[in-house]
Amino acid sequence: MDLLGGTGGPVRVAGRELARDELLGWAWSVAAEIRGADAVAVHATASLETVAAVAGAILAGVPVVPVPPDSGPDERAHIFGDSGASLLLGAGGPSDGPPLVPVDGLPRNGAQGPAGAPGDATAMILYTSGTTGAPKGVPVSRGAIAAGLDAVAEAWEWTPDDVLVHGLPLFHVHGLVLGVLGPLRTGSPLVHTGRPKPEAYAAAARDGGTLFFGVPTVWSRTAADPSAAGALRGARLLVSGSAPLPVPVFERLYELTGHRSVERYGMTETLITLSARAGGDRRPGYVGTPLPGVEARLAAEDGAPVPPDGETPGELHVRGPMVFKGYLNRPEATAASFTDDGWFRTGDIAVAGPDGWYRIVGRASTDLIKSGGYRIGAGEVENALLAHPAVREAAVLGTPHADLGEQVTAYVVADGVGERQLIDFVAARLSVHKRPRAVHLVDSLPRNAMGKVVKTRLAAPSP
């Protein structure tokens, strides 16, 4: 199965640009060096070397393992050992793992060879964040990537006439699969800004960018920069993912850019499964409806169906051609992640409306709060807090409570507002039982490389 298109526009990363033909010539040189390997790791910096390395592995039919450039020695050792990567692709220099193939030293006019592999062959082994132990390897097949990219291209009306712009890390689904393989497959030019700064997005928009990818942190910073946001009025589509986009940010972006952002939902294990459509409705706080070929449902803790009434939360289950088959070397984790009838258990809590629109309210492990007999989604409380004009960031979780079991606890970055004011503000907008019983005012929230708040690192300030 051929994942990459043969023609298309140039690729620019952090100011360096290559024509499509030259990039593919470079990728064929990589393919010649690694053909026959069981798997290869890539030092996944935001660089043309990373793009050429990944494209070369795809052409050679060799599973590619992106390694975050800021990963520590223990994490790297785990990824190298668990994946079985026998080579490391990157710029010249010493390697702390497998033998290094210096991609920057390879010619850019490699001879075309046999390409592709069967659709069920592994294209990538992506690693989860490892918040509950060592990162788990997620083998993603060539067929899954093709199905996922074709589905979002249809949903977002993504064509070779677009110019994709983003500055996301190149070791996750968002930045690498959607943000690199996506334009290579559709034929659209790619402009990677190096870092996802509002001023860089604005400059790319002025230079003809049409399709912009960002995480909520990127869009929040853009919404706080009216000049940069205004430059995006000429874009065709703004897409937000990797975490819920706060409703106030959605609304502020609309005010400044004229665009109602497309929100979508996906995971390393599933790629993108739910999305709003370029040509349809876009609702703040909602991640849309299932993509073509995808089925979705909600289940209670006992496995019983949850009604799509727009109110009752349940665990989101999905199945479709872009969903993976199981974790690498983890049969027990695989068994626990799939239902007996073959649905993947995402671990995310969602609400579905009668019209099939989904809203994510949080992770089952941290964002479903059971307080006094009520089930409360953290995301709903976070959006209520973010509606306060003094609040810049908010994270909500359940903490132990002797009487209620758990209480709603909020960590808030805000200026000139107190705990009681914020509690009363939420109580006036949501059911009283959903109000925070404790609000901790903090200077910042801990985030990972994709801008997601890491709630396991939140702790009450010392008295």
pLDDT attached to residue 363: 76
**Per-residue pLDDT for 119 more than 60?**
yes
Spell out the residues 6+ positions from residue 422 whose beta carbon is closer than 8 angstroms to its own: 385, 388, 391, 410, 412, 414, 436, 439
Task: List, for residues 48-82, the tens digit of each pLDDT value.
Answer: 999 999 999 999 999 999 998 878 787 889 999 99
pLDDT attached to residue 246: 84
User: How far is the CA of 208 from the CAs of 11, 165, 189, in angstroms?
Assistant: 14, 10, 11
Instruction: Name the maximum alpha-carbon separation found in the chain.
Output: 70
Cα dihedral across residues 90, 142, 243, 314: positive or negative: negative
**Exposure b/e, 68-89, CB count within 10 A at least 16 = b:** bbebeeebbebbbebbbbbbbb
pLDDT attached to residue 450: 65
Cβ proximity of 415 and 389 under 8 Å: no
Task: List, for residues 289-339, the tens digit of each pLDDT value.
Answer: 999 999 999 999 889 999 999 989 999 999 999 999 999 999 999 999 999
Q: Mean pLDDT across the stretch 162-176?
A: 95
Percent helix, strand, coil in the chain, to 5, is 30, 25, 45
**Per-residue pLDDT for 135 more than 70?**
yes
**Per-residue pLDDT for 269 more than 60?**
yes
Written as six digits, the tokens of 279 are 């040509």
pLDDT attached to residue 93: 67
Task: List, for residues 249-265, the tens digit of each pLDDT value.
Answer: 999 999 999 999 999 99
pLDDT bucket at 458, cuts 50 / 70 / 90: confident
pLDDT attached to residue 1: 67
**Per-residue pLDDT for 463 more than 60?**
no
Task: List, for residues 417-440, the tens digit of each pLDDT value.
Answer: 999 999 999 988 887 788 999 999
CATH class of 11-190: alpha beta
With residue 101 as reference, give the H or E element that holds it: strand 100-102
Return d(Cα 193, Cα 212) in angstroms, integer. Answer: 11
Strand locations in 243-390 (E)? 262-267, 271-275, 289-290, 295-299, 314-319, 344-352, 358-363, 368-371, 374-377
pLDDT attached to residue 456: 82
**Per-residue pLDDT for 132 more than 70?**
no
Cβ proximity of 144 and 63 under 8 Å: no
pLDDT attached to residue 211: 98
11-190 and 368-457: identical CATH topology: no
- DSSP H helices in 309-438: 331-337, 378-386, 419-427
Look at the block and give the residue holding tokens 């788990």: 136
Q: Mean pLDDT across the stretch 34-59?
A: 96
pLDDT attached to residue 244: 82
pLDDT attached to residue 72: 78
Task: List, for residues 354-405, the tens digit of each pLDDT value.
Answer: 999 999 987 776 677 878 766 687 887 888 899 899 999 999 988 988 778 8
pLDDT attached to residue 12: 98
Return d(Cα 262, Cα 88) in angstroms, integer. Answer: 36
pLDDT bucket at 457, cuts 50 / 70 / 90: confident
pLDDT bucket at 447, cuts 50 / 70 / 90: confident
**What phi, psi does 206 have (nearest 5°)?**
-65, -25
Q: Within 10 Å of residue 37's Cβ, how many Cβ atoms?
A: 19
- Which of these, 356, 357, 334, lies nearest to 345 by C-alpha position? 334
Q: Mean pLDDT across the stretch 11-35?
A: 96
The pTM of this model reads: 0.84
> Taking the domains of the chain in order of start, what are their residue ranges?
11-190, 368-457
Return d(Cα 271, Cα 265) in angstroms, integer. Answer: 8
Q: Within 10 Å of residue 265's Cβ, how many Cβ atoms?
A: 27
Q: Which residue has the higher pLDDT, 186 or 7?
A: 186
pLDDT bucket at 156, cuts 50 / 70 / 90: very high
pLDDT attached to residue 15: 96
Q: Mean pLDDT across the stretch 12-19?
A: 97
Residue range 368-457, CATH number: 3.30.300.30
Per-chain mean pLDDT for the chain: 92
- Sheet of strand 289-290: strand arrangement: 16-18, 11-13, 190-192, 164-166, 211-214, 237-240, 262-267, 271-275, 289-290
**Per-residue pLDDT for 460 more than 80?**
no
pLDDT attached to residue 259: 97
pLDDT attached to residue 332: 95
